Amino acid sequence: DAGVTQSPTHLIKTRGQQVTLRCSPISGHKSVSWYQQVLGQGPQFIFQYYEKEERGRGNFPDRFSARQFPNYSSELNVNALLLGDSALYLCASSTTGYNEQFFGPGTRLTVL
Amino acid sequence: KQEVTQIPAALSVPEGENLVLNCSFTDSAIYNLQWFRQDPGKGLTSLLLIQSSQREQTSGRLNASLDKSSGRSTLYIAASQPGDSATYLCAGPSGNTPLVFGKGTRLSVIA
């Protein structure tokens, strides 16, 4: 079975631009979560969606938004990019959101 | 609010050595704890999930324990190999946050 997939793999943007990251969960998983990981730190929680509803939101500004589609795939949008948004963005899926989380390979975002 | 701490931040051992990685957490109401491996620039690979009703989980050369009363979990790696070199992260849930992570332990196994 395919694992969690994310696209694109790498992305370079300039300050002020907008970016959309995509995630496809493992088949049968209804929960998707997003995390931001900066160099040398553990991942920080951004959003969790379950059955297309937002279940949780981390301490990130309103420039960050997300949604989940009927096929359970998800998009993370970041507006008005700042240099500090440069990071590895990770997506995780699970069946219920409360059990074992499986991560994708991540999207490396660089903001210049 | 859950806080997760991992000590040491970095560890270097010779090949073949048994080793223990430590993880401490502040919220003892945790209902599970997960250990991950991360290679540089890559995503996270789930190693073990321990439910709060369990005390240990084993997978191959890996054994993880969970002691909710003391707020501690350990990951034991037996007969370490150079291929085990990676960053190891522990994480547990807190409120609406599915996973709160520590900063990780960077492990180097020297041949």
- B62-110: pLDDT as tens digits: 999 999 999 999 999 999 999 999 999 999 999 889 999 999 999 999 9
Q: Which residue of A has its CA nearest to B96?
A: A56
A108 touching chain B per CB within 8 A: yes
User: Residue B37's pLDDT is what?
Assistant: 98
Q: Which residue of B has its CA nearest to A106?
A: B43
Cα separation, B58 vs B20, whole angstroms = 14
Nearest to B83 by CA among B8, B9, B15: B15
Alpha carbon of B17: minimum distance to chain A alpha carbons (Å): 26
Strand partners, B22: B7, B74
A9 touching chain B per CB within 8 A: no
Cα separation, A66 vs B9, whole angstroms = 33
Alpha carbon of A89: minimum distance to chain B alpha carbons (Å): 9
Please provide the average confidence, as pLDDT, over all residues in chain A: 96
Of A45, A57, A105, the CB nearest to B99: A45
Of B31, B49, B96, the CB nearest to A100: B49
Tell me the pLDDT tens digit for each residue of A12-48. Answer: 999 999 999 999 999 999 999 999 999 999 999 999 9
CB contact under 8 A, B96 and A97: no
Residue-wise DSSP of A59-101: S--TTEEEEE-TTS-EEEEE-S--GGG-EEEEEEEESSSSS--
Supply angle C-alpha B92, B35, A93, rounded to 5: 70
Q: Which residue of A has its CA nearest to B5?
A: A42
Tell me the pLDDT tens digit for each residue of B12-38. Answer: 999 999 999 999 999 888 889 999 999
Question: How does residue A2 score in pLDDT terms, banded at 50, 70 and 90?
Answer: confident
Pairs of CB atoms within 8 A across A/B = 68
Cα separation, B42 vs A6, whole angstroms = 12
Tokens 């990780």, located at residue: B104
